[in-house]
Structure 1
Amino acid sequence: MLFLAKRAGLIIASASGILYGLLLDLEYYGIIHPIYSVSLGYDFSAGYVLSRIFIHFVSFFVVALLINVAVAQEKSARSLLAKKESEFYQLDLLYRSIVQSVTAGIITINLQEDIKSFNKAAEEITGFSFLNVRNKKIDLVFPGFSKILDKMKNEETEEQSINRDEIIFSGKQNEDIVLGFSISPLMDSKANKIGNIVIFQDLTATKEMEREVEQTKRLALIGEMAAGLAHEVRTPLASLYGSIQMLKKNLSLDQTNERLMQIVLRGRDQLENLVKNFILLARPDLSNRDEIDVKDLTNDVLESLSYAPDWHEDIRVEKELCDGASIDGNNTEIRQALWNLVLNAVQSMPDGGTLKIETELIPSDNMNQYLQVRISDTGCGIEKNHFSRLFEPFYTTKESGTGLGLAIVNRIVESHGGEIKIESDLHKGTTCTLLLPRSRGITGFEE
């Protein structure tokens, strides 16, 4: 009866009362023998029968009404429970959607530092999937992170949280990723700490932009300095050079004085080159561009560099230069970029090695072509901690370097709409790759 409608309960109660009355009538008129009246000693009179029928009728209807009330309450409870379950399900979906949609990585860990949740952004940033790190220690994802958590435990603070901090994370491709993170305690309904929530973001691009802004500021300062240097230094240098040439021509110098005169002239040339580098770094020449045959230019650079003091016979040159590799650019600047890169390669091999230069035509999606120039050496290589500052002006690891070589190369390549990439293995060698756009209108490979 619990699952029947209210009307059905009343009908059944009425039917039960009628059947019970019929049963007593049959017993009263002797049609059937009463079972319990003899044993209980009841006087089976008409009054007794009517009272029994009345009492049972009332009892049946009271029970029916109580059952109807219970059924109504049960239905109401079921409806409320279903509504709460639906609301909980919707909230759970909303929570999961929010957690999975945010661009910040979110990790929850218990007090034993086991990972309990890992959202989609965390998977994309770290390269780990939740299935691979579930119930694993946080140090599996962030090596050394447990030390930060231990430091939090030892600090006598009420919140025991870190609002903002940064760590260097090594990705699956062994690239360094700068992560900004915060840690907050995870509490249960009774305000007891049950773990921690770690929220983090990839700040690598932001840090790179900050470095670019800083570099732009430096270049602007260098531009102002270059304008002054061009006038203040070149004028006396020209006078000095002319005077020394006149003295050298008119005076008869012995061997010692002749050598001293050459030292003065070389010093003047070094100052002149320094001024040129300043100007080139500050303001690349965007005009005066012609079609450049990079193959001929590379051969010219190698021939000129073979007479440089840093060149020696133990350097073996390998060339794979494709024909028709021309670009639209400033000949002087491209030559300077190649010179700087090849000179760096030569200087990295003081005991000899292999210098390899390759050029290749690369197609692109916009139907234009790019020229790729790869300059490789088998020299000392570059330490990993220097990579982030390779293109900074005045940053150098050489005892006699100015720190302008790679900065100038990067500036020239950028002004030509190209890209530069440097790869290096310590004690094995370095490869510099230039990607330069070719002349407009070219839509395919040249044979």
Structure 2
Amino acid sequence: MHQNVEQDERTWQRLKILIVSRVIILSVFSLVTFFLGTIRSAIPVSQEILHVIYAVMGIMYIFSIFYTLLLRKKKYFQINIYFQLAADIGLVSFLVYLTGSIGSNYSLLYTLVIIYSAIFLGRRGALIFASVCGIAYGLVLDLEYFNLIPTFYSTGRDYSVEVRDVFVRIIVHILSFYIVAFLASVVVEQEKKTRSLLVERESAFDQLDLLFRSIIESVDTGIMTTTLQGRIKTFNRAAETITGFQLKSVENRQIEDIFPMFASLFVKDKNTMIKNRQEIIIKDRSGMPIYLGCAISPLKDRNGLQIGHILIFQDMTEIKHMEENLEKSKRLALIGEMAAGLAHEMRNPLASITGSIQLLGQTENMEETDRRLMQIILRGKDRLENFVRDFLLLARPVPDVREPVNIDEVIEEVVENLKMSNEWTESIKIVKTSSGQNKAFANKEQIRQIIQNLVINAVQAVEGTGNLLLEINAINLEDKKD
């Protein structure tokens, strides 16, 4: 009988219940026997037989204590079950023997032993112990019938028992034992299959619930559910991050108490909702305003009945700030465009001033004071033109078009233009040195502007006579090291 025993927590609990139930039944049986046999002498048995019954009851109590101690040793779990089955079969057989053998009604207790053997050992164990019960019952009847053991209790029957009666009684009981074993094992197996299916479905449900919670907690959109009465039930991680409130601080509280602005999503009747997306402003835990894009939908059960509300919201604060900055940029761009237009219009009067001053400068017999004043006007005009040019360059940047540029040619153009301007004086001598062909891949207009600014600054820094040294060297930036 190498039947595997399922040693799970449920089986342990059942075995404990079996031990406790046996103790209760023994106690009731002992009290009834003592009351009927000792106090009222209601059963026609001698005191010696009662003493034997009490002794057997005492032995079963000792066995129950032994079962309980053995239950603590998991490695003896299977032995514990077999030992209890064998002891119970012996006890039932003894009760059958004491109460008239063939006429005893205690033979029904064999079925209880067979049933719990099916619970603990399965179909094979139930059939084996059904056979043991049949053998034990038949042995008691045969031994008493053939006077191999004395008769303890006489039923007072006025008919004789023949061999065929004993044989039929034994066969009927054995068949009933097998039927009970088979039916009990079928029920137990069905119960195990049902329990296994239930465990699988619970596991699948737990996995689905875990997946659902993972999805809810992973999205960056705040999700909050409320009851029909407006009490907050769930609050995902994104909602905590957006609002600054933790679930434990808002759970089961009225939504109007925590987020009054959410009440605008409901009409007077809470069952009537505004489903279109809206933008509202709430305050977080620190009192700072938060711009939210919100939408609300009914929360329904599997039967389609509404059980609450689902509120979905997203933090729009950063987007709002970007929109405000974009609006400011548009206004600044408009102002810059208007200023660029004004600067462009200023060039025409400056050109007229330049032409007029130059014509006046050609007048003969002009006093030196007037000539100095005209030079001051021209220098102011040049500074104003430079300012307008720089402003236009900032407002309307030159497209970054790069091409091969000959630096020597650009310097020649800048020097030639400088000699034609009012900044130039004959007292300054330009000395230019070059290492050869100096070319660069750059924006030609930007290079010209840089060189022109450097040369003009150098000329303005010379007081009286002096030399302006222009040295040109080609440097490969890729070969330079920090």
Q: TM-score, normalised by structure 2?
A: 0.46
Q: Give the structure, 1 or 2, with the largest relative contact order (CA under 8 Å, sep 6 or more).
A: 1
